[in-house]
Amino acid sequence: MSSSRSKIKKEIKQKFKIKTFDYSIKFYLPRTQGYLEIMKKMKNEYGNMSLYEFDGYFKGEFEPIKYTRVEIHSNYLDETKLIRSANRMRKKLKQQSLAFEIDNKLIIVEE
């Protein structure tokens, strides 16, 4: 059975390219003033990203603004740089806190 798996993997590699990424980084951004500037900057820095829009539910109630989860996949990760970047985003968006995840580990940056 393992020889047939090996044969299948070899056939796949011959037909198309496969890319894998070591890290998954997800930012949870409120769609407030300054949001689009941050999105453009992230696009320039990281390239391709996935965006998911959702309603915010914090402190026991729904928020009046929409949120976007920006998901980035990368082979490079500097957690300290990401925390500093998240804090700058938080200030620009005038938020008390901003959340992001690194490989399913939630990090909240607060004032």
- Counting the structural domains of the chain, the total is 1
pLDDT digits (tens, 9 = 90+) for 38-92: 999 988 888 778 889 988 777 777 778 889 999 998 888 899 999 999 999 999 9
pTM for the complete prediction?
0.74
User: Domain range spanning residue 34?
Assistant: 18-110
Whole-number Å distance between alpha carbons of 110 and 95: 8
CATH label of the domain that carries residue 27: 3.30.70.120
How far are the Cα atoms of 68, 69, 74, 89, 106 from residue 77, in angstroms, in the given order? Answer: 21, 18, 7, 18, 15
Per-residue confidence (pLDDT) for residue 110, from 0 to 100: 94
In a domain, 27, yes or no: yes
**What pLDDT is attached to residue 56?**
78
Within a domain: 76: yes
Query: HSE of 31 in the Cβ direction (CA atoms, 13 Å)?
Result: 14
